[in-house]
Amino acid sequence: MAAVQDTPVSRRLSSIKHIIIVCSGKGGVGKSSVAAQLALKLYASTPNVRVGILDVDLTGPSIPRMLGVDGSSVHQSSDGWVPVYADASEARLACMSVGFLLKRKGDSVVWRGPKKNAMIRQFLSDVRWGELDYLVVDTPPGTSDEHLSLLEHLSPVHDRLSAIIVTTPQAVALMDAVKCLSFTRAVNLPVLGIVENMSGYVCPCCGEVSNVFSTAGGEEMARREGVRFLGALPVDTELVSLLDAAEATPPKAESGVPDAGSVGIELVRRYQATPSAKHFGKVLDTLQDALPAIERRTSIL
Ligand SMILES: Nc1ncnc2c1ncn2[C@@H]1O[C@H](COP(=O)(O)OP(=O)(O)OP(=O)(O)O)[C@@H](O)[C@H]1O
C-alpha cells in the first residue's frame, strides 16, 4: 500500500474512519436526500456514532435545509471553521455547506472552476471535523469539476474513500448512472453500490408500495455492471414534507426561540417515523456489509 501523503487535508481528516461520496449521473434523482438520510440514519442507528456531512454541491446547496439548519452560520476558531452541529450540544452530527457562507438566503454562487476548487480544499483542510466515524459528501449531479477537485484533495486519504451512486428507475437516469459508474472506474474510486430512489410509491393511507414507473432497473444495472445493489427507496410524501420543509417546523426550545440543535433532534425523531426510514434501514445494513468488503485502492485518480 502506498504511504499516506502528509498534506493539510490528510492531517485534518486523520480521525475520520470512512468518507462516503454520494454521486448521481443525473440531477434531481434524490442524491441530496439520500445523503441527508444516510447521515440521519447513521446518526440514529448507532449510539455515540459521530457523523459529518459535507455539501459540495456549491451551486445548489440543499443539505442545510434538509437537516433543518438553514440560516445557521459557521464561525472561525483558532483551529479553523467550526461546522454547524445539527444536534447542537451533542455535537455528533456536523454539517458544512457553502449555504452557511452566503450573505443572504437565495444568493447564487457564480464561481468559475478555480474558486470552486479553492472552496472544496478549504472545506477539507480548514473545517474542524474532529473525530468522525463517517463523513458523507453530497456532490453536484454528473461528473463535474467539483468531483475532480474533491478527489484530488482527498487522494492522500484514498484508503478511506468510497462512493454510492443514486439513480431513479427510468431509463434515462439509469443511462447516466452507468456513466457515473464509468467515471468512478476511470478515477479508481471504489463503489459501495447503487441506490434506486423513487422506486414505487408509498400510499400515505395504507403504507402499501405500488409501482408507478418501471422498477428494479437499478438492481438490474447493478447486476449487469458487477456492483452491489444497496436497495430501493420509494416515493414518500412524508419524506418530502419533512426534508423540504425542515426549516419551517422548528419546535420551540425552552427559551421560546428555536435553535438549530432542537430542530435537528426533532428532525431525526420525525425522520425515524417515516416509511423512508424503514426502507433506508435495509440500505444501511447492506452498505455496512459492503464497507469492509470493498477493495480498497492503493491510489485514486
Ligand atoms: N424518495 C423520495 N420520495 C419523495 N420525494 C423525494 C424522494 N427523494 C427525493 N425526493 C424529493 O425530490 C426533490 C429532489 O431531491 P434532491 O434534491 O435530493 O435531488 P438531487 O439529485 O440532489 O438534486 P440536484 O440535482 O438538484 O442536486 C426534493 O424535493 C426531494 O425532497
Atom of ligand 1 nearest to the CA of 235: 3
pLDDT over 90, % of the chain: 67
Measured in angstroms, how far is the CA atom of residue 5 from the centroid of ligand 1? 36
> Which ligand 1 atom sits nearest the alpha carbon of residue 243?
31
Give residues (CB < 6 A) around ligand 1. Answer: 24, 27-33, 57, 60, 62, 141, 197-198, 233, 235-236, 239-240, 243-244
Dihedral of the CA atoms 174, 177, 178, 180 (nearest 10)? 170
For the chain, the domain total comes to 1
Query: Could you tell me if residue 261 is inside a domain?
Result: yes
CA of 141, closest atom in ligand 1: 25
63-77, 190-204, 256-270: which range is least confident on average?
256-270
198: left (phi over 0), alpha (psi -120 to 50) or beta: left
Among 78, 31, 76, which Cα is nearest to 55's?
31
Please state the rounded mean pLDDT for residues 148-152: 96
Question: Is residue 14 in a domain?
Answer: yes
Query: In angstroms, what is the span from residue 291 Cα to ligand 1's centroid?
Result: 25
Residue 250: per-residue pLDDT:
46
* Helices (H), ranges, 131-192: 145-154, 171-186
- Is residue 1 one of the residues assigned to a domain? no
Please give the residue range of the domain that contains residue 269: 8-166+236-292
Query: In CATH, what number is assigned to the domain containing residue 258?
Result: 3.40.50.300
| Shortest-distance Cα residue to atom 30 of ligand 1 | 240
Q: Could you tell me the distance, in angstroms and rounded to a whole number, from the CA of residue 240 to the centre of ligand 1?
A: 8
Res. 34: pLDDT tops 50: yes
- The x, y and z cell numbers of residue 150, run together, are 474533491
Task: Compute the distance between CA of residue 7 and CA of residue 121 in angstroms, rounded to an integer.
Answer: 11
The ligand 1 atom at the shortest distance from the C-alpha of residue 234 is 1
Which pTM does this prediction carry?
0.93
Q: 191 near 21, Cβ under 8 Å?
A: no
The minimum-distance atom of ligand 1 relative to the CA of 240 is: 31
With a threshold of 0.95, tell me whether the complex ipTM lies above it.
yes
121-137 pLDDT per residue, tens: 999 999 999 999 999 99
Taking only the tens place, the pLDDT of each residue in 153-193 is 999 999 999 999 999 999 999 999 999 999 999 999 999 99
Q: What radius of gyration do the chain's Cα atoms show?
A: 18
Ligand 1 pocket test, candidate residues 24, 31, 33, 147, most atoms within 8 A of CB = 33
Is the predicted pLDDT of residue 4 greater than 80, yes or no?
no
Rounded to the nearest whole angstrom, what is the distance from the C-alpha of residue 28 to the centroid of ligand 1? 5
Mean pLDDT, all residues of the chain: 89
Q: Does residue 174 lie within any of the structural domains?
A: no
Residue 195 lies in a domain: no
Tell me how far apart the alpha carbons of residues 60 and 146 are, in angstroms, rounded to a whole number. Answer: 12
* Residue 191 is assigned to a structural domain of this protein: no
DSSP 223-254: HHHT--EEEEEEE-HHHHHHHHTGGG-PPPPT
Dump pLDDT digits (tens) for 181-231. Answer: 999 999 999 999 999 999 988 787 887 878 876 677 899 999 999 999 999
118 lies in some domain? yes
- Residue of higher predicted confidence among 255 and 269: 269
Q: Which one-letter amino acid corresponds to residue 9? A: V
**By C-alpha distance, which of 126, 136, 216, 203 is closest to 168?**
216
Considering only CA atoms, which residue is closest to atom 25 of ligand 1?
27
Q: How far apart are the first and last CA of the chain?
A: 15
**pLDDT for the residue 249:** 46
The answer to whether residue 181 sits within a structural domain is no
CA dihedral 150, 151, 153, 159 (to 10 degrees): 130
